[in-house]
Structure 1
Amino acid sequence: MIRNGIVVAATLCASLAAAPLSAGATAAPADGWQRTGSGILGGVSGIALVEGAPTGRGLADAVVVRDNKGDGENRVATVRLRPGRAPVVRELPWLGMLPADLEALDAVPGRPGHYVAVASRGNAYHVVVADGRATAEQEPAALPGRRDGDNYESFALHRDRSGRTFAVWATRGSGDEKAVVRAASVRIGAHGPEFGAVSARQEFSVPYPDEDEVRHISDLKVLDDGTVMVSAASDPNVDDGPFSSAVYDAGRLTVNGAHDAVLRLKPERALSPLSRFTKQDNRKIEAIAFLPGRLGLWGTDDENFGGSVRFERVGR
C-alpha cells in the first residue's frame, strides 16, 4: 500500500482525471444542483475535498460517503466536478471491516488521501483512498462520550497553528432534543484515530427548519480560522420528502493556553441561515465542505431522488 501522502494524492487525482466524463455531459442546471447518484442508494451523507486538488467555482475533486447498510452496496465514491460538465462519479470498492450507515467524512489535515469516516452509531474509521479503492486501515475507534441510542451525522478535523489536530462532532438532535457538539484532540496514528479527552461540550439547535423531524446538525465543518459551519435538515421520514435544509455559521472553535479545544457556539436566537432550502426545493443537505473564500459545496441525500451537489458562496 502507498503510504507517502504526496504519492497518494497524485494517484487519486490521476485516477479522477483518467475517469471518462459522463455521457451527455452538460452545464449545471439553472438551480445549480448536479446529480451524483440515483435512487435511495445514491445519496451523499458526507463529503471531503481531495487535498492538493484544484478548486474554484464549479471546480473540485471530492470523496463522498453513503449511508448504505447492505452487503454489496456502495460506501465510498469519488466525485470530479468541472465547470460546464456533468459530475464524474466513480464508486470505489471497500477493503476492510465493512461499515454500516456512514454519515460523515473529513480529510486528515496534511495527509493527502487519508480520511476519517464516521458511522451513525459513533464509530470512526481511518480510510485511505488510493489506487481506485477505499481501505479501512484498522478497526474503528469509538467517539469519546458515545452512548447507546446516540445518532451521529457530523464530524470535522481541524489543525490549529500549533500543528495539533482537533476533532469536532455532534449528535444530530431531533425536534425538541438539541444536538450535542463535542471537541477533543485527535491523532491519526498506526492504530487509527486516537482521541484525547473531550475538552468542550455544548448543546445546539437551529431556528430553521422548524417542521417535521428537525436534525439540528446534519453535518459540520471547521474553517481554517476556526469558524464552525453546520447544516441542518428536516425529514418527514417519508422517502419522497418533502425535505428542507439550511446552512449556518454556528460559532467558533478556539484553543486555550492549555492546548485544549474550546467551543463558542451561538444560541438559537442569534442564528440566521446563510443558505436556505424550503420544502418546495425538496433538498436534504447531509454533507458540507468549504473551498477557499467560503465557497460552500453542499451534498444531499434526497432518499428516493438520489444525491446531488451544489456550489454556493456564503462568504462575508
Structure 2
Amino acid sequence: MIRHAVIASATVLCAFLAAAPPATGAPGPSDGWQRVGSGTLGGVSGMALVEGAPVAQGLADAVVVRDNQGDRESRVATLRLRPGHAPAVRELPWFGVLPAGLEALDAVPGRPGHYIAVAGRGEAYHIVVADGRAVALGGPVALPGRHDGDSYEGFALYRDRSGRTFAVWATRGSGPRPAVVRAASVRVGAYGPEFGTVTARQEFAVPFPNEDEVRHASDLKVLSDGTVMVSSVSDPQVDDGPFASAIYEAGRLTVNVAHDAVLRLKPKNDLVPFALFTKRDNRKIEAIAFAPGSQAVWGTDDENDGGSVEFDRVGR
C-alpha cells in the first residue's frame, strides 16, 4: 500500500443470515486488514461508527451494511473491533420494508442507535439498531434529484454549529461520467428522513483509479469541520479483481447565512490521494468512517474475498 499524507411498520419482514457467515480466525493480518465477512455476501458497502463508543487505533464499534438482495441475506451487521482480537461480527435480523442493495450508511447526529441507510437506487431508510436487530421506521424515502438509472454509493450526515443537520450524497459515476454530489438540509423524524431543497450540486471525478470501471465516489463522509472525504474504486467486473482504491480530501461543506448547504469540491487535477491502494493491494474500498480526532476506518467489498476493515489515521 502506498500512502500520501496530504493532509414500527405495518408489514414486518425478517432478513436472517442465511449465506453470509460471520468472520472467524486469528487477529488481523500483518498488513492491518481484518476480515469481517466471507464471500460475495460478506462485503462492507457502508459503515458508521457507533456514537459515544470509544475509538482508538484498533478499537471501535461499528455498524455496517451489506449490498445483498435475497430475502434471507444479511443487510446489517455490527462489528466489535479490539486490538489483538479477531473482529466480533454479528449479523442482525431486519424488521420492516426489506431493501435491495444497501450501499451507504451514516449515523444520525445526536441520536445514538439511529442511522440512515441508502440503497443503490437512491432510497433512504431510517433504521434503529438496538437489542440485536435492525428496525426500519416507516418506508423508504427517495433522495431528492434521483433519476432512473442513477446508482448511489455515498451518503453522509453533518450537523453544523447551529444544530441543523445536512445530508450529502453522491452517485458513484462511471469511467468518463463523473459522480454527482448533492447536499440539502434534512430532518430525521419518527418515520423517515425529510429532505429539504437541494442547494448544492457539483460533479466530482478523480485522477486515480484510472482504468477498468472507475467509480469516482464509492463512499462519502463529512468531518466535523466540514471537510468532505470521498473514496474511489476501480472494478474490472471480475469477482476476484484485481481492484484499486483511493481516499481523497475532496473539498468542503459550508453553511451560508441563509442556512443553505454549500459545496466546494476540488477539480480532478487538484486532487492528491490521502491513501492509495493499487491493484497489487487488491482492495475495493466501499465504506469509510471517521471518529473525532485522527482515527479512520476503511471497509471493503472485495467480492469473492469478502469484506475487510483497516484502521488508519487522518492527522494533519
TM over 0.5: yes
2:172 paired residue number? 172
Q: What does the per-residue CA deviation read over 1:181-230, in whole Å, with 9 as the maximum and x for residues that have no partner? A: 00000000023100000000000000000010000000000000000000
**Aligned match of 1:237:** 237
* SS of aligned partner of 2:90: strand
Contact persistence 1:212–1:236 (CA under 8 A): yes
What SS class does the counterpart of residue 258 from structure 1 fall into? coil
Rounded Cα–Cα distance in structure 2 between residues aligned with 1:23 and 1:127: 27
Q: Tell me how many residue pairs correspond in the alignment.
A: 296
Q: Which amino acid aligns with 1:45?
A: S
C-alpha contact 2:179 2:204 (8 A) present in aligned 1: yes
| Residues 77-96 of structure 1, C-alpha deviations (whole Å, 9 max, x = no match) | 00000011110000000000
Cα deviation code 1:54-89 (max 9, x no counterpart): 110101000000000011000000000001111000
Q: Let me know the Cα RMSD of the aligned residues.
A: 1.2
Corresponding residue for residue 102 of structure 2: 102
Q: CA deviation at 1:292?
A: 2.5
Q: How do residues 74-113 of structure 1 correspond to structure 2 at under 5 angstroms?
A: 74-113=74-113
**Match runs of 1:155-170 below 5 Å:** 155-170=155-170
* d(CA) in 2 for partners of 1:215, 1:244: 10
Unaligned runs of 5+ in 2: 1-7, 9-21
Q: Map 1:1-316; keep pairs closer than 5 Å.
A: 25-26=26-27, 28-316=28-316
**Structure 1 segments of 4 or more deviating over 4 A?**
21-25
> 2:119 corresponds to which letter in structure 1?
A
Distance 2:224 2:274 in 1: 18
Q: Output the CA distance in 1 between the equivalents of 2:25 and 2:244.
A: 30
Task: Report the residue type matching 1:126 in the other structure.
Answer: H
Identity percentage over the alignment?
76
What's the offset of the Cα at 1:123?
0.2
Give the distance between the partners of 1:46 and 1:55, measured in 2 at CA. 18
Q: Distance in 1 between matches of 2:137 and 2:178?
A: 33
**What residue in structure 1 maps to residue 19 of structure 2?**
none
What residue identity is the alignment partner of 2:263?
A: L
User: In the aligned structure 2, how far is the partner of 1:248 from the partner of 1:23?
Assistant: 31
The 2-side partners of 1:153 and 1:224 are apart by: 21
Query: Is the 8 Å Cα contact of residues 51 and 107 (structure 2) preserved in structure 1?
Result: yes
CA contact (8 A) 1:248 1:271 kept: yes
> Which amino acid is the alignment partner of residue 72 of structure 2?
G
Q: Provide the C-alpha distance between the structure 1 equivalents of 2:287 and 2:293, rounded to a whole number of angstroms.
A: 18
Structure 1 unmatched ranges of 5 or more: 2-20
Structure 1 residue 293: Cα displacement: 2.2
SS of the equivalent of 1:269 reads: helix
Shift of 1:246: 0.2
Q: Matched residues in 1 for 2:40 and 2:305: separation?
A: 7
More helix, by proportion: 1
- Any conservation in 1 of the 2:35–2:307 contact (CA below 8 Å)? yes
Contact 1:107/1:116, CA 8 A, preserved across alignment? yes
8 Å CA contact retained: 1:275, 1:314: no
- CA positional deviation for 1:30: 1.3
CA contact (8 A) 2:154 2:169 kept: yes
Superposed displacement of residue 244, structure 1 = 0.2
- Taking the aligned partners of 1:25 and 1:189, their CA distance within structure 2 comes to 42
Partner of 1:7: none
Residues 89-148 of structure 1: per-residue CA shift (max 9 Å, x gap): 000000000000000000000000000000000000000000100000110100000000
Aligned counterparts of 1:22 and 1:120: Cα–Cα separation in 2? 25
The 3-state SS of whatever aligns with 2:69 is coil
Shift of 1:29: 1.3
CA 1:147–1:231 in structure 2 vs 1: closer, same or farther (change >3 Å)? same
Q: Distance in 1 between matches of 2:178 and 2:165?
A: 26
Aligned to 2:16: none
Taking structure 1 as reference, are residues 254 and 23 closer, same or farther at Cα in structure 2, changes over 3 Å only? Answer: closer
Partner-residue secondary structure (3-state), 1:35: strand
Q: Is the 8 A contact 2:55 2:295 kept in 1?
A: no
State the partner residue of 2:13.
none
Distance of 2:32 and 2:291 partners within structure 1:
16
Q: Shift in Å at residue 296 of structure 1?
A: 1.4
Report the TM-score, using the length of structure 2 for normalisation. 0.92
